[in-house]
């Protein structure tokens, strides 16, 4: 254990009141964001609204959740105080999620469209006559 | 500010010091949590894929509208909000325990760890109630021309579109919804609940070690910090479970 202590060059100084006030501030931010999210979720249920507006509100809720994640990781887990290289080794691999989410949701949506437009009779004749399949559109 | 300046001047990779300036166990905890994030991410993305592939998906406001001791009152999202706040508060008490550990404040660590454990157990109790309510709560559903009362399980989903028939015993009659709904809900919240349960066990062990003075003898409360990372991660995952299952 003593060996490990020597390896660490800088210690996060035990702060006093500032640390506690930062924790309280973050708690309030998290609570307020959660209440806003709940308000939007209930609004979508209670008020009649267009599908486009609903989708927009869902997008806002996703962004607010990402903000919550940022505060939890950055402040509660103290990742913001670590060495930049350490932060990068955690955060950069998570960028894979961007492709992950886009690709799989696109796949799910395409699956639905294919199933909805699937016609067994067409499927039998289509491979035999590929030219006609193109003209049907 | 002083440390920020020093960072640029220090040669991290010339040997003799930790390039990431963290203790081994904490670094490995971070990498474990990153891999766990991918596990949960894969589950949630799989859920999203199936949900996108369905023409109909149940509205969470209709499924999750019960509250203990409130009977049949329509209280959408009320109970899950309570669960969310319980988890946020227990995350806060955990960070206060870590802070007390930095200050070598044994009493503070014990006090905040007890609150964290209580928060975790309260969350698990809420989840147990919610699961029981979903599984045992019957709903009239039209299946093959007959009205059956079914609950929400991994093989049955009563939350489909409304059936084109009159009310049955004063209740609306529905049709079966996508079966995947129950499987994903119980699978993912169950996997999260398993993390909460193991987190509670870890926190109880930390609490006992703190009471016995193990960390005081070691001269540092790093173990509390590592348990704290795990506990915050559980809260972090709940943010996304809450988002995917209850809000959107």
For A115, other C-beta atoms within 10 Å of its C-beta total 11
Distance from CA of A50 to the nearest CA of B (A): 15
H helices of A13-129, where?
17-46, 51-71, 84-94, 96-117, 120-125
Check which CATH number belongs to the domain holding B163 and give it: 1.20.120.80
| pLDDT tens digits, B92-130 | 999 999 999 999 999 999 999 999 999 999 999 999 999
Q: Is residue B21 part of a domain?
A: no
Closest CA to B130 of B170, B182, B168: B182
Q: What is the pLDDT of residue B66?
A: 87
Q: What is the pLDDT of residue A127?
A: 52
| pLDDT tens digits, A43-57 | 988 888 888 999 999
Q: What is the pLDDT of residue B234?
A: 96
| pLDDT tens digits, B224-243 | 999 999 999 999 999 999 99
Nearest 5°: CA angle at B209, between B204 and B213?
145
Q: Do B10 and A9 touch (CB under 8 A)?
A: yes
Q: Do B81 and A27 touch (CB under 8 A)?
A: no
Q: Do B45 and A100 touch (CB under 8 A)?
A: yes
| pLDDT tens digits, A31-47 | 999 999 999 999 988 88
CA-CA distance, B62 to A122, in Å (whole number)? 39
Q: How many CB pairs under 8 A join A and B?
A: 163
Determine the average pLDDT of the residues in B177-186: 93
Q: What is the pLDDT of residue B169?
A: 72
| pLDDT tens digits, B6-51 | 555 667 777 777 888 888 899 999 999 999 999 999 999 999 999 9
Asked whether B150 and B141 are in contact (CB, 8 A), the reply is yes
Q: Is residue B1 part of a domain?
A: no
By Cβ distance, the residue of B23, B38, B45 closest to A104 is: B45
CA-CA distance, B99 to B103, in Å (whole number)? 7
Looking at beta carbons, which pairs linking B165-170 to residues 24 or more positions away fall under 8 Å? Answer: B168/B140, B169/B140
Q: Is residue B18 part of a domain?
A: no
Closest CA to B177 of B163, B159, B154: B159
By Cβ distance, the residue of B49, B232, B247 closest to A37 is: B247
Q: Which residue of A has its CA nearest to B10?
A: A9
The three-state secondary structure class of B104 is: coil
Determine the average pLDDT of the residues in B145-169: 84
| Torsion on CA atoms A91, A61, A37, B66, rounded to nearest 10 | -100
Dihedral sign (CA B167, B169, B172, B178): negative
φ, ψ for residue B163, nearest 5 deg: -80, 155
Domain ranges, residue B184: 26-247
Q: What is the pLDDT of residue A19?
A: 86
Interface test with A, best of B17, B23, B53 (most A CBs within 10 A): B53
Would you say residue A137 has pLDDT above 50? no
Percentage of chain B beyond pLDDT 90 is: 65
Q: Is residue B5 part of a domain?
A: no
Q: What is the pLDDT of residue A131?
A: 53
Would you say residue A135 has pLDDT above 50? no
Q: Do A45 and B61 touch (CB under 8 A)?
A: yes
By Cβ distance, the residue of A5, A65, A104 closest to B240 is: A65
| pLDDT tens digits, A69-124 | 999 999 999 898 888 889 999 999 999 999 999 999 999 999 999 999 988 777 65
Percentage of chain B beyond pLDDT 70 is: 96
Q: Is residue B4 part of a domain?
A: no
Q: What is the pLDDT of residue B227?
A: 96
Q: What is the pLDDT of residue A2?
A: 47
Would you say residue A126 has pLDDT above 80? no
CA-CA distance, B229 to B214, in Å (whole number)? 20
Count of positions (residues) in chain B: 248
Give residue B132's pLDDT band: very low, low, confident or very high (50, 70, 90): very high
Q: What is the pLDDT of residue A134?
A: 46
Q: How many domains does chain B have?
A: 1
């Amino acid at each position: 254990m003593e060996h490990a202590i020597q390896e660490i060059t800088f210690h996060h100084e035990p702060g006093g009141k500032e640390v506690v006030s930062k924790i309280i501030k973050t708690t309030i931010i998290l609570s307020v964001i959660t209440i806003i999210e709940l308000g939007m979720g209930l609004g979508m249920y209670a008020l009649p609204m267009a599908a486009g507006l609903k989708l927009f509100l869902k997008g806002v809720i996703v962004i607010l959740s990402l903000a919550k994640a940022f505060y939890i990781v950055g402040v509660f887990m103290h990742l913001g105080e670590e060495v930049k290289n350490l932060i990068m080794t955690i955060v950069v691999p998570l960028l894979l999620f961007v492709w992950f989410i886009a690709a799989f949701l696109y796949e799910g949506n395409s699956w639905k469209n294919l199933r909805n437009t699937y016609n067994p009779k067409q499927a039998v004749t289509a491979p035999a006559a590929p030219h006609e399949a193109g003209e049907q559109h | 500010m002083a440390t920020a300046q020093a960072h640029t001047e220090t040669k991290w990779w010339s040997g003799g010091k930790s390039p990431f300036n963290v203790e081994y166990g904490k670094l490995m905890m971070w990498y474990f949590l990153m891999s766990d994030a991918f596990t949960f991410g894969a589950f949630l993305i799989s859920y999203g894929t199936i949900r996108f592939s369905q023409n109909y998906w149940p509205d969470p406001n209709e499924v999750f509208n019960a509250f203990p001791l409130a009977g049949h009152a329509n209280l959408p999202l009320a109970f899950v909000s309570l669960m969310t706040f319980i988890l946020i508060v227990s995350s806060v008490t955990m960070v206060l325990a870590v802070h007390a550990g930095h200050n070598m404040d044994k009493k503070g660590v014990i006090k905040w760890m007890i609150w964290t454990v209580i928060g975790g157990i309260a969350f698990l109790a809420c989840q147990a109630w919610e699961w029981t309510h979903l599984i045992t709560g019957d709903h009239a559903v039209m299946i093959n021309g007959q009205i059956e009362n079914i609950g929400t399980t991994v093989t049955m989903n009563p939350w489909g579109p409304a059936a084109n028939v009159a009310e049955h015993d004063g209740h609306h009659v529905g049709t079966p919804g996508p079966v995947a709904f129950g499987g994903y809900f119980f699978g993912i919240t169950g996997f999260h609940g398993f993390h909460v349960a193991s987190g509670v066990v870890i926190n109880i062990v930390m609490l006992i070690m703190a009471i016995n003075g193990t960390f005081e003898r070691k001269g540092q409360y790093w173990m509390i910090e590592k348990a704290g990372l795990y506990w915050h991660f559980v809260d972090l995952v709940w943010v996304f479970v809450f988002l995917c299952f209850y809000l959107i």
